[in-house]
Amino acid sequence: MKLFVATKNPHKLAEIRAILDLPSLSLVGLESFPDLPDVDEDRETFEGNARKKAVEMAAATGLWALADDSGLEVDALHGAPGVRSARYAGEPCDYRANNAKLLRELQGVKDRRARFRCALALAHPDGTVRSLEGCCEGVIADEPRGDNGFGYDPLFIPEGYSSTFAEMSETTKNAISHRAEALRRARREWGEALSAPRRRRRVLVLINPRSGIPRSLDALQRATEKAWERHGVALYYQFSHSAEDGVAKARSAVADGFGTVLVVGGDGTISSVGRALVGTDTALGAIPTGSGNGFARHFGIPLQVERAVEALADAETVLIDAGIAGDRMFLVTCSMAWDASLVRSFEKTPIRGVLPYLFAGVHEFFQYEPQDITVEIDGAAPTSFKAPMVFTVANMTQYGGGARIAPQARPDDGYLELVVALRQDVPKLVANIGRLFDGSLNRLPEVETRHFRRMVVRRAQAAPVQMDGELVEADTDIEVAIRPQALHVLVPRNRKEGA
């Protein structure tokens, strides 16, 4: 079997061939396809660029295609240089200038933790793509050291070593590098796919019958088969009779080698199934039939079932982060004040939709007794909030129903967004309720936001928290953290994010 690798470097081809060590695999590079057009690497993540290159190269060559994108991330610079590693100091690419800029940015900074990250993507000519990553953790030196390597090698000291990459032999560096780690993972996780004949891709359609499917199940099935079977997939249908049942069926789908689970339901069902798919190669697709549909709205997935099915059939797969509060994951939001307690009233109403949700909020506003909350964010000194009414941690922009509580939240940037509003500021917020829906809420001075990776929340009294539309019991102290690049998700091409 032939595998196209997006490189002209024969040494890189030899390194990949040696690490993959698959005798049935024949590697070919760009020298065999001299007329291939360049791929515009315009995505915001390494994984996005690698997947785009792999998909376009597979389509152009008619072969399985392997592509990568890599760079340096520095914690104190919130992940920069990141995908702009090669041109950190501007155009054209100049690594001496990049290194000089990096040292200037870190002047006087004690936290010099960093990592090289390599995203590797493997695509089939039919558009199916999978991806993984390898990382090499380390720190940034105070000055350049060594004459070997290239790029940021003179500044990067890998964990467990005292030498920079540029002071190491090529053999030593290649043995511990981020690319080598990614390739070793590829051999473990993709070796069977690269060695075995291509099988028909299987998709599980998992339906929550209680979530308000607007048309008959026959209509859903017809729409799904019309949109998906032209891509050569085999469709299977099951019902999710409870959260536990949905999780069990999602896990069985992973074990049975399904490439995608399409969830027909609301944010609660999507979240519970998504948690079962975290850390696997099986992708989550959301066909929204819930009340708020915050997950679907964030990614621009149509709210009409037939249109959603069609959009996801031609979607791309992206890797997103997940939040963790206590021992439970969430994908969209986690709330801990009045914004959590209103779920209690909403769950008691027999009617679903945005209007009953607003009535529940009004009812809980007069019943809810706020308590002070203290937080420790990313190891900083504690910060106290006096009687907050809104205390939401967001991985995505939406509560649902078009209410954009965290307009700046992004589910693929390795951070969570904290949004806080105090009780004393509620009248001003009510007067500006329109900002919740037009994406400008964060511009109000009464709304405080924090960007973080880990936060410890301390409350005087234990109270339930809201996670993706469901109420969950929680202790007085809660640790909230990000799990980066946890879940593969189908998103429509040319989507308007946060819509």
- Known catalytic residues are 69
DSSP state of 231: G
Residue 397 phi/psi, 5-degree rounding, is -75, -25
Distance of CA 434 to the CA centre of its chain: 28
120 DSSP β-pair partners = 68, 132
Q: Are 443 and 434 in contact (CB under 8 A)?
A: no
DSSP state of 167: G
Distance of CA 496 to the CA centre of its chain: 16
**Where are the alpha helices (H) located in 79-216, listed in sequence order?**
95-105, 170-176, 178-195
Q: Which residues contact 3 (CB under 8 A, 6 or more apart)?
A: 25, 26, 27, 28, 63, 64, 65, 66, 194
Residue 462 phi/psi, 5-degree rounding, is -65, 140
Tell me the two tokens of residue 103.
Answer: 């040292």
Tell me the two tokens of residue 192.
Answer: 């069977």
Q: Residue 120: left if φ>0, alpha if ψ -120 to 50, beta else—which one?
A: beta
Round to whole Å and give the CA distance between 183 and 349: 52
Q: Which residues contact 458 (CB under 8 A, 6 or more apart)?
A: 373, 374, 375, 376, 382, 476, 477
| Cα dist from 145 to 66, 136, 154, whole Å | 33, 18, 5
